[in-house]
């Protein structure tokens, strides 16, 4: 069932032809204007990726401020007020500025290549989606310089911390989220239209690479929940500036309403940040195992099941807020149910490798680390799903450990794996494999040194979002801080690697990895600016059944 | 699936200018709210955004009339519009969700009912009711609420009627009867305008005679946000239909190929359906 290279593929034609809409166009603008005005999915993809890498380092510096303060007990480096702004901005920047845009960047680059499309379905809208982001995040970051400081209420911005007791800059924070949300919705619409409408002739839905499937479902989640977030922050805006009572019990509203609205967005949001990662790993593991993906169809159905369940679990973030017992039970069971389709996925990845001819190039290393460490994060998630136990874990470092395991060695490692996997296609050069191995091992050690001790400090009762802590947590925090700085520093290696890879290195052929089968490996490396202007005829591998 | 002539547009300056205009408008709005600045920045951003949208759509119309789009492009536009409307549905769902949550859970709990009735300790005197005339804390409630069977009923008839007149106009276009289309589209736009005017009158009544304002507790909050965002969508929809009317007058749209017109119809019907939900759950029940 998995996609195969077409047997009669017009590679030469597609890379040189200037037919279709491109024929009439004058020479593209150069310099800055090229990037400002582009409608090309590869250029916009690169913009997304560069933007998200920038945000990754900004959010990373905020995290290091937090870890530096927590290096030892007591208040040393920053004021508690500023500490709160750092934890908040770290979360917001990483979620909305780093992880999400990097997946959109990968989608932009790879989905048209993987389905044999000439570009995204709506190229100008694509450019609009991207250029909204710099506006949104410049505004968001500028709140740090405003009187009263930036957002200080945690990335979940619970009312009334984010309404009654919020700094004046919160209004700008809300508006920046609106802009970022519009960007996400328009980007998601574009991806859905592309996947549903622009597949090469002969490619059925069930022939698509899994990355396209996971992104299709992710895009649906984005369109379903980003507007709910927009509604929630609009209510905040009204409560702050116009005296409404949405989250004010004195007027008949309810602060808990905010949490419901936020997590109705927030839980699908965490799958928005992991489903594309599943797609990436499902491309990389078969390639380097030189085997077809085990259980392609079950992967698709599992992704769909996760997406549907994601709308029915949101209140597991709110077990301690005082829900009725029936709600506690309902959300506990639905949450545990998610382990089933997720387990299907992990099983399939392992089964793909079973009796494979495995090699350990950097993309595979990151993908393998993803499988192991994401599973750790999944298991701690299962622990947190148990409502009575959650009363102990809630708002401790155990939660911080859990979601960082699914987001850093989970989502982020998948993004790094994708970068190493597709860099030859993007630049025409292999990345420096030796340096990449260094990057991998330093990252794995750094990440686990940072986040594994948080399980222990959390179970022992250390609360999150606190700049000072009791002495018994000192050793765990020391390890976490050392690990964080190691992890942060080793990402500089990644930047160096990318720069070197763009400038030169070992030349990559069209099919850069021996076991790679998807359509993107049929176009030259580096992929020319315009590909598939005449759609390839997609041929299913008949042996696959 | 790809047919081989998919139109990939050349570079365009509208998207990046549009994002700057949107940023300017929203930052200008924030400056009014936070720093009490005047509205010039927001107004400039708003005008710039409208201009960019106009010029962007002009390009699309030119390309469409230039025959650059094929059936596949048409499907992309359909997908785009359909999912955009779905996102709008979810935006309204957030406000309807808030309304239902408050009425079903928050207020009864504040009154001491059910599993979380301990919330009644906050304001022991409070009695839950909907419409909430007396909020529990130091927030003044509305004096009186609007009857659904006066202006809201008129507005319901207007909007439902406008959906029908729009369908007549659309059928006319499909049959090549352009005069029918023009006349009924004009009627639709006028109905949309009268809806907006009546809604304006109702807001005036609410503020000046009924004492319903944004600050009168959760009733005023949900009432104005739901009807307000809906009203904003009616204004947008009527504007779109007015543009369609201009395009009809200029001879645009073929009997078999007129997705711009159809998309405007979809949007208008969506606005209509939201209103029916509003009429039922904000006014009647």
* pLDDT at residue A15 is higher than 50: no
Put simply, the answer to whether B101 touches A38 (Cβ < 8 Å) is no
**Structural domain contains residue A6:** no
In a shared domain, residues B123 and B55: no
Position A219 scores a pLDDT of 98
- pLDDT tier at B115, thresholds 50, 70, 90: confident
Q: Does residue A143 carry a catalytic annotation?
A: no
Q: Does residue A496 carry a catalytic annotation?
A: no
Q: How far is B275 from chain A (nearest CA, A)?
A: 18
Put simply, the answer to whether A252 touches B116 (Cβ < 8 Å) is no
What ipTM was estimated for this complex?
A: 0.96
The string of pLDDT tens digits covering residues A356-389 is: 999 999 999 999 999 999 999 999 999 999 999 9
Residue B94 in contact with partner chain A when CB distance is under 8 A: yes
Position A24 scores a pLDDT of 47
CB atoms within 10 A of CB B259: 17
- pLDDT tier at B118, thresholds 50, 70, 90: confident
* pLDDT at residue A9 is higher than 50: no
In a shared domain, residues B82 and B25: no
Q: Does residue A530 carry a catalytic annotation?
A: no
Contacts with B56 from chain A: Cβ below 8 Å: 124
Position A6 scores a pLDDT of 47
The string of pLDDT tens digits covering residues A21-51 is: 444 456 778 889 999 999 999 999 999 999 9
The string of pLDDT tens digits covering residues B233-258 is: 999 999 999 999 999 999 999 999 99
Position A534 scores a pLDDT of 86
Contacts with B222 from chain A: Cβ below 8 Å: 246
In a shared domain, residues B121 and B224: yes
Put simply, the answer to whether B80 touches A125 (Cβ < 8 Å) is yes
Put simply, the answer to whether A252 touches B132 (Cβ < 8 Å) is yes
In a shared domain, residues B255 and B183: yes
The DSSP annotation for B70-88 comes to -HHHHHHHHHHHHHHHHHH
CATH number of the domain bearing residue B193: 1.20.120.80
* pLDDT at residue A164 is higher than 90: yes
* Annotated active-site residue in A43, A69, A119, A520: A119
* Annotated active-site residue in A38, A87, A169, A184: A184
In a shared domain, residues B2 and B95: no
The three-class DSSP label of residue A463 is strand
In a shared domain, residues B65 and B96: no
Q: Which helix (H) or strand (E) holds B99?
A: helix B71-101
Position B49 scores a pLDDT of 98
CA torsion A45-A51-A54-A60 (nearest 10°) is: -90
Q: Of the residues B69, B84, B118, which one is the last residue of a structural domain? A: B69
Q: Of the residues B69, B90, B124, which one is the last residue of a structural domain? A: B69
**Could you tell me which of A391, A208, A376 has the C-alpha nearest to residue A282?**
A208
pTM: 0.95
Residue in A closest to B101 by C-alpha: A257
In a shared domain, residues B151 and B138: yes
Q: Does residue A513 carry a catalytic annotation?
A: no
CB A403 within 8 A of CB A382: no
Handedness of CA B95, A316, A270, A66 (dihedral sign): positive
* Annotated active-site residue in A345, A429, A455, A540: A345
In a shared domain, residues B178 and B195: yes
Contacts with A532 from chain B: Cβ below 8 Å: 2
Contacts with B114 from chain A: Cβ below 8 Å: 324
Q: Of the residues B49, B69, B89, which one is the last residue of a structural domain? A: B69
**Could you tell me which of A326, A331, A335, A222 has the C-alpha nearest to residue A273?**
A222
* Annotated active-site residue in A282, A287, A310, A450: A282
Lowest mean pLDDT among A5-9, B14-18, B252-256: A5-9
Host domain of residue B26: 1-69
CATH number of the domain bearing residue A490: 1.20.210.10
Position B117 scores a pLDDT of 81
Host domain of residue A530: 11-20+31-544
Nearest by CB: B135 against A21, A203, A245: A245
Q: How far is A26 from chain B (nearest CA, A)?
A: 8
- pLDDT tier at A10, thresholds 50, 70, 90: very low
Mean pLDDT of A282-291: 97
Q: Does residue A25 carry a catalytic annotation?
A: no
Nearest by CB: A241 against B18, B19, B33: B33
* pLDDT at residue A17 is higher than 60: no
Structural domains counted in chain B: 2
Mean pLDDT of A213-225: 98
In a shared domain, residues B86 and B2: no
Position A25 scores a pLDDT of 55
CB-count exposure of residue A78 (10 Å: 0-12, 13-18, 19+): middle
* Annotated active-site residue in A290, A464, A465, A539: A464
Position A1 scores a pLDDT of 43
Q: Across all residues in chain A, what is the average pLDDT?
A: 93
- Spatial distance between the Cα atoms of A334 and A305, rounded to a whole number of angstroms: 12
In a shared domain, residues B30 and B94: no
Q: Across all residues in chain B, what is the average pLDDT?
A: 95
CB-count exposure of residue A345 (10 Å: 0-12, 13-18, 19+): buried
* pLDDT at residue B215 is higher than 60: yes
Position A533 scores a pLDDT of 87
Q: Does residue A90 carry a catalytic annotation?
A: yes
Nearest by CB: A37 against B11, B22, B116: B11
Residue in A closest to B114 by C-alpha: A324
């Amino acid at each position: 069932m998995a996609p195969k290279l077409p047997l009669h593929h017009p590679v030469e034609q597609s890379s040189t032809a200037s037919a279709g809409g491109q024929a009439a166009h004058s020479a593209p603008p150069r310099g800055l204007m090229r990037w400002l005005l582009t409608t090309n999915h590869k250029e916009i993809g690169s913009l997304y990726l560069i933007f998200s890498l920038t945000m990754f380092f900004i959010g990373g510096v905020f995290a290091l401020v937090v870890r530096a303060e927590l290096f030892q007990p007591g208040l040393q480096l920053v004021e508690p007020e500023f500490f709160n702004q750092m934890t908040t901005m770290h979360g917001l920047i990483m979620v909305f500025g780093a992880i999400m845009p990097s997946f959109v960047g990968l989608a932009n680059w790879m989905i048209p290549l993987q389905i044999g499309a000439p570009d995204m379905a709506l190229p100008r809208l694509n450019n609009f989606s991207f250029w909204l982001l710099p506006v949104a995040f410049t505004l968001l970051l500028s709140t740090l310089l405003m009187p009263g400081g930036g957002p200080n209420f945690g990335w979940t911005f619970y009312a009334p911390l984010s309404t009654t007791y919020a700094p004046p800059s919160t209004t700008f924070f809300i508006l920046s989220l609106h802009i970022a949300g519009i960007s996400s919705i328009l980007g998601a619409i574009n991806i859905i239209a592309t996947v549903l409408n622009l597949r090469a002739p002969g490619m059925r839905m069930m022939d698509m690479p899994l990355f396209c499937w996971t992104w299709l479902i992710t895009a649906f989640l984005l369109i379903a929940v980003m507007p709910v977030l927009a509604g929630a922050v609009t209510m905040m805006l009204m409560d702050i500036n116009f005296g409404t009572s949405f989250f004010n019990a004195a007027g008949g509203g309810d602060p808990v309403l905010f949490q419901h609205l936020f997590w109705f967005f927030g839980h699908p949001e965490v799958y928005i940040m992991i489903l594309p990662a599943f797609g990436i790993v499902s491309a990389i593991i078969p390639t380097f195992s030189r085997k077809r993906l085990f259980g392609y169809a079950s992967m698709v159905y599992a992704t769909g099941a996760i997406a549907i369940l994601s709308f029915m679990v949101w209140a597991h973030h709110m077990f301690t807020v005082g829900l009725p017992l029936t709600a506690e039970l309902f959300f506990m069971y639905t949450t545990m149910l998610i382990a089933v389709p997720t387990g299907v996925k992990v099983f399939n990845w392992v089964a793909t490798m079973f009796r494979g001819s495995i090699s350990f190039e950097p993309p595979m290393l990151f993908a393998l680390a993803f499988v192991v460490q994401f599973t750790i994060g999944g298991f701690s998630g299962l622990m947190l799903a148990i409502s009575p136990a959650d009363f102990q874990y809630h708002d401790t470092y155990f939660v911080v450990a859990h979601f960082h395991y699914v987001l850093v060695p989970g989502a982020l490692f998948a993004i790094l794996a994708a970068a190493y996997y597709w860099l030859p296609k993007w630049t025409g050069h292999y990345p420096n494999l030796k340096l990449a191995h260094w990057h991998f091992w330093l990252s794995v050690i750094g990440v686990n040194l940072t986040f594994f001790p948080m399980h222990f400090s959390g179970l022992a009762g250390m609360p999150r979002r606190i700049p000072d802590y009791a002495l018994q947590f000192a050793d765990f925090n020391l390890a976490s801080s050392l690990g964080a700085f190691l992890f942060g520093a080793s990402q500089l290696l990644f930047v160096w690697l990318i720069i070197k890879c763009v400038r030169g290195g070992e030349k990559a052929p069209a099919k850069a990895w021996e076991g790679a089968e998807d359509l993107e490996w049929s176009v030259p490396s580096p992929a020319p600016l315009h590909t598939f202007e005449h759609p390839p005829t997609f041929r299913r591998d008949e042996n696959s059944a | 699936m790809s047919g081989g002539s998919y139109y990939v547009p050349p570079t365009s300056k509208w998207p990046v200018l549009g994002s700057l205009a949107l940023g300017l408008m929203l930052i200008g709005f924030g400056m009014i709210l936070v720093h009490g600045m005047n509205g010039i920045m927001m107004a400039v951003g708003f005008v710039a955004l409208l201009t960019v949208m106009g010029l962007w759509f002009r390009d699309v119309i030119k390309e469409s009339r230039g025959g650059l789009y094929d059936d596949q492009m048409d499907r992309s536009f359909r997908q785009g519009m359909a999912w955009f409307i779905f996102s709008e549905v979810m935006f309204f769902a957030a406000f309807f969700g808030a309304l239902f949550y408050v009425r079903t859970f928050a207020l009864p709990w504040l009154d001491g009912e059910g599993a979380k009735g301990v919330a009644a300790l906050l304001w022991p005197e409070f009695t839950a009711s909907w419409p909430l005339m007396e909020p529990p804390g130091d927030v003044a409630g509305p004096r009186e609420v609007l009857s659904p069977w006066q202006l809201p009923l008129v507005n319901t008839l207007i909007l439902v009627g406008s959906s029908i007149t729009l369908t007549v106009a659309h059928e006319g276009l499909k049959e090549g009867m352009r005069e029918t289309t023009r006349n009924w589209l004009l009627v639709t736009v006028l109905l949309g305008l009268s809806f907006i005017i009546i809604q304006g009158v109702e807001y005036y009544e609410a503020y000046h005679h009924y004492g319903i304002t944004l600050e009168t507790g959760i009733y005023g909050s949900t009432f104005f946000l739901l009807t307000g965002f809906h009203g904003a969508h009616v204004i947008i929809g009527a504007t779109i239909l007015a543009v369609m009317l201009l395009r009809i007058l200029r001879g645009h749209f073929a009997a078999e190929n007129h997705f711009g017109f159809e998309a405007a119809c979809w949007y208008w019907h969506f606005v209509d359906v939201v209103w029916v939900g509003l009429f039922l759950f904000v006014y009647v029940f």
